[in-house]
Amino acid sequence: MRIVLIGMRGSGKSTIGKILARKLNWKYIETDRLIEKKESQKISRLVEKYGWERFRELETEVIQSLGNTERSVIASGGGVILNEENMKILKNNSITIWLQANILTLIERCGMDKNRPFLTDGKTIEDDLKTTLIQREVLYRRYADFSVVNEYKTEEQVACEILEHKICCIIGHPVAHSLSPIMHNTAYKALGLNYIFLPFDVTDLKSAVTSIKNLGIVGCAVTVPHKIKVMKYLDKIDETAKKIGAVNTIINLKGTLTGLNTDWSGALDALKEKTELAGKNVALIGAGGAARAIAYGLKQEAAYVTVFNRNKGHGKELVKDLHLDSYIPLKESTKLDGFDIVINAISVGLESRQSPLTKKSLNQKQVVFDIVYFPRMTRFLKAAKEVGCSIITGDRMLLHCVKRQFELFTGKRIPVEILEDAIC
């Protein structure tokens, strides 16, 4: 995770960036200074000799060299937003903040820099800044996750305002497909809340958890493959999540990170839209974090749960931990006539067109549930529908999970209909 500051020359990116880096104990990076170091000359001299086009080429080279630099505050050049590819790199796993200031403030600050070349054909610095701001304002709005006005307050106050912003997120690998950001952000807007929800593709889990604490991120959703491994990096685990052995939600309360699990209740809510659960025989495919949560919920509802899994050790461990009914190797799941409900709780449909079962394994009396929601109609669900099964798509579980997470993050209730509209 990192912070990227965007905005006009004179908006305070350098000064505030250094303060943020100090407060977070992160690395400070200023792209303009990297260009000057690379070329061994000031930007004013560089532009005078080679023009703005050459400067933009060098800016791209510098940004590409940064890659996915973690735990850093990056102060970008004012025109970085003109290059879409540069912004894709900078926004990856970043909180992008637009520092705003009115034109008079910019003129006052930039008037001190007599050597900075103009960006337009304007005759005065006022004309140059006005024209440039008009050209760029729409792009700053497009790329910023949120904006902060840097006027009539100290740089220290602006930095504190940034760190006090209500940020929530999802961590996983991959997360580009996730519907959580659009649902959470739609709900925040509907209730007029000053929150924002961002996706972070995380491979270094320990570093990500530290960043959540440092940045004061209010709440975090956790998805594959981190639901079990994340537990060892948290300060507290609630009792239900302990029993399940997996976490899909983190709450940050004054720097104390507590892990919870809303997967189990989300799955039950989705299942109850189609069927009763007490006394039903359930075939549960998978033994990972989501499977553990679903198994826990089913057990609370007095269902009989049989675990099907490729890895014998993981499957038997789940049965033992949650006192389930039995384990059967996945390769023996060719006929499931004795089950009322069949649930796929592995991510096979997310990364490919594969299915954990063929339609020969199913019958039309069954309820079939796939927790994978991208694509919405997985190959597994298509096969079930062809057989005549009653199907439940993964987005139903997600909706109920997000509803509960939203309440935990904000303390507010949200109608599920608002979340449904967000992904229609």
Residues marked as catalytic: 227
- Say which residues have a Cβ less than 8 Å from residue 289's Cβ, sequence separation at least 6: 224, 227, 228, 244, 245, 246, 247, 248, 263
Q: How many CA atoms lie within 13 A of 347 on its CB side?
A: 14
The residue assigned the tokens 């499977």 is 291
Q: What is the DSSP string of 80-146?
A: GGG-HHHHHHHHTTEEEEEEE--HHHHHHHHTT-TTSPPSSS-SSHHHHHHHHHHHHHHHHHHH-SE
Distance CA(128)–CA(364), nearest Å, equals 70
**Contact at 8 Å (CB) between 345 and 353?**
no
**Contact at 8 Å (CB) between 28 and 159?**
no
The residue assigned the tokens 């929150």 is 195
Buried b (16+ CB within 10 A) or exposed e, 312-330: eebbbbbbeebebeebbeb
Task: Return the structure tokens found at 82.
Answer: 């003109």
Distance CA(149)–CA(102), nearest Å, equals 9
Give CA separation, 89 vs 69, 232, 421, in Å: 10, 31, 31
**Contact at 8 Å (CB) between 66 and 89?**
yes
Give CA separation, 278 vs 202, 299, 384, in Å: 38, 9, 23
Task: Return the structure tokens found at 344.
Answer: 């796929």
End-to-end CA separation in angstroms for the chain: 30
Task: Return the structure tokens found at 60.
Answer: 């791209």
Give CA separation, 18 vs 96, 109, 166, 201, 209, in Å: 16, 18, 21, 25, 23
The two beta strands, 281-285 and 166-172, are unpaired
